[in-house]
Amino acid sequence: MMMNNFFLPNGMGAVEAEYHEFPLEEYNSNPFIQALPPLIDKQTIIKKLMSPISYKEEERNMDSAYRLHLIHRLYKLFQPLPIHLSIWNTIHTLIYQGYIARNPFDKDYRRYINKTGKQIINRTFDINSRADFRTTANSATLIGYSGMGKTTTVGRVISNIPQIVVHNYYNYQHFNQIQLTHLTLQTPHNSSLKSLTLQFFMKIDELLGTNTFQKQVSRNLSTDAMLPLMGQVALNVGIGMLIIDEIQHLQNRGVQQMMNYFVTLMNSFGVPILFVGTPASYSVFQNEFRISRRVSGNGEIIWNNMENDKEFYFFLESIWRYQWNQKYVPLTKDLVDIFYEQTQGVSDLIVKLFVNVQEMCITNGKEEFTVDMIKRCAENQFRLMKPMLDAIRSKNIYKMAQFEDLRKIEYTSDIQISKPSKERIEVIQSKTKVVKEATKKITVHKKRNVKRVVDNGDDDIRVLLKISGDTTPYQLLVEKDYIDNMALWMEGEGK
């Protein structure tokens, strides 16, 4: 059946809840789960994700002025790869599993919501206390190179899940509830937890037409007071999953506080979280075992650049048919190799290079590109990215570590090992420099072989002892009044 779409009073689109029966027992008897789309197989997922673009062979004969615009259709193309299926399954698992413990028709869960709500109103809720609630919420991380399409892929996946679902009746019972299946937040550049909280309230108000943000700002509450309110709103609107994008913006001073709250959101309020970021964010999760254990609860998806293998060939082949030059150029091994050499398997750069080389051919009237033209085009268009591409091309971890977004994460014996961070390399280099300088000073000192000359005064004990001759040290010290003559003390005691 087709979903009944309508608009909320604020103009946002929503759907009326339709309940599906699942073969999994734990997914039934819960309106939050049953209102979600049915799970689908791999082939259907690929069809859902795929976004082909319009193309007709006769368009290659159009005037160049129009073809220069037609080639920009390539930016809208989305070709599913195996990693996209992993992201799809991870997101759906997070949302569906996270709702299991949050069944609004479960008496224990309703009791917990009421109890927590009263504590928040009375300001007795302790965010660090152990919640009397067994959550099924989990988290996952998506870490990958800039330009691989992390945010775009997450957006395409969640676009297949209605964001706002309105419930009216469930099993012939009144059930007036708005369900927000997912919400995306951007990590503040200053790692401010208050900024993240206010962003949360603003997004909720934008989607649902509420005035939560205005109320919280007018009350001028502290961050600690606002955090429980954020959790309460998450409970009230049945948030299925929080997506925290650009997590690499977290700075050292804000990591601990923000991560602690994310853990609390999962434990106390049952909200699953997907963290999305570049390799620079990997060290954020490795700093503390407790955080690492929680954020990798539903797995880690590591998205490095493509190797020059079957996957890269498949991706390039999928866009190759979209040529608007008058002379069609077949895909050869030389062309595959030059495209990899100039893009290093970064999805965004592959598409941009393919667009730009076609634009060059149309503009100069040659209407056919060659290996040399591709190389020249890349040199002109990717001039700013040359240091980064050279670092990837070198496969030198120290060069790549200069650009945090390019730090490659490898798998070794099923253990994920991160390459040394830029900070770590700087520490090592600094220590090496200190050792070298110290060694150099020692060497110079030995070469000079300069003896130290100390000018001691006449009353220096060391000088007196050297010139004492036959006089014993004791007699010398007595004569010079450094110590008392003990014989006089003995005679005094005899008297």
Find the distance separating the first CA and the last CA of the chain, reported in whole Å: 124
Rounded Cα distance between 111 and 220, Å, is 30
The domains of the chain are located at 4-35+81-303, 311-402+414-418, 461-494
Q: Cβ atoms within 10 A of the Cβ of 58, count? A: 6
Per-residue model confidence (pLDDT) at position 408: 64
Q: Which of 450, 405, 172 is nearest to 276 (CA)?
A: 405
Tokens of 9: 């009073």
Half-sphere exposure of residue 32, counting CA atoms within 13 Å on the CB side? Answer: 26
Rounded Cα distance between 177 and 31, Å, is 10
What DSSP line would sit under 107-158, residue for residue? Answer: HHHHHHHHHHHHHHHTT---TTSPPS------EEEEEE-TTS-HHHHHHHHH
Per-residue model confidence (pLDDT) at position 466: 66
Beta-carbon contacts of residue 156 (< 8 Å; ≥ 6 apart)? 49, 51, 78, 84
Q: Cβ atoms within 10 A of the Cβ of 464, count? A: 18
Strand 164-170 vs strand 409-412: parallel, antiparallel, or unpaired? unpaired
Per-residue model confidence (pLDDT) at position 79: 94
Q: Which of 96, 90, 95 is nearest to 182 (CA)?
A: 95
The torsion angles phi and psi of 131, rounded to 5 degrees, stand at -75, 145
Full pLDDT tens readout for the chain, 495 residues: 456 888 998 899 999 999 999 999 999 999 999 999 999 999 999 999 999 999 999 999 999 999 999 999 999 999 999 999 999 999 999 999 999 999 999 999 999 889 888 888 888 887 666 667 788 999 999 999 888 999 999 999 999 999 999 999 999 999 999 999 999 999 988 888 888 999 999 999 999 999 988 877 767 777 778 888 898 999 999 999 999 999 888 866 667 778 878 888 888 899 999 999 988 887 776 665 555 565 555 578 999 999 999 999 999 999 999 999 999 999 999 999 999 999 999 999 999 999 999 999 999 999 999 999 999 999 998 888 888 888 888 877 767 767 666 666 665 433 343 444 455 445 435 544 543 454 454 344 444 444 445 555 566 666 666 666 667 777 777 777 666 665 554 554 444
Instruction: Name residue, tokens 């799809």.
Output: 88
Query: What is the CA 290 to chain-centroid distance, rounded?
Result: 17
Q: Cβ atoms within 10 A of the Cβ of 217, count? A: 13
Q: Tell me the residue type at 161.
A: I
CATH of 4-35+81-303, one of 3.40.50.300, 3.40.190.10, 3.40.50.11740, 3.40.50.2000: 3.40.50.300
Rounded Cα distance between 182 and 95, Å, is 8
Rounded Cα distance between 382 and 324, Å, is 22
Whole-prediction pTM = 0.79
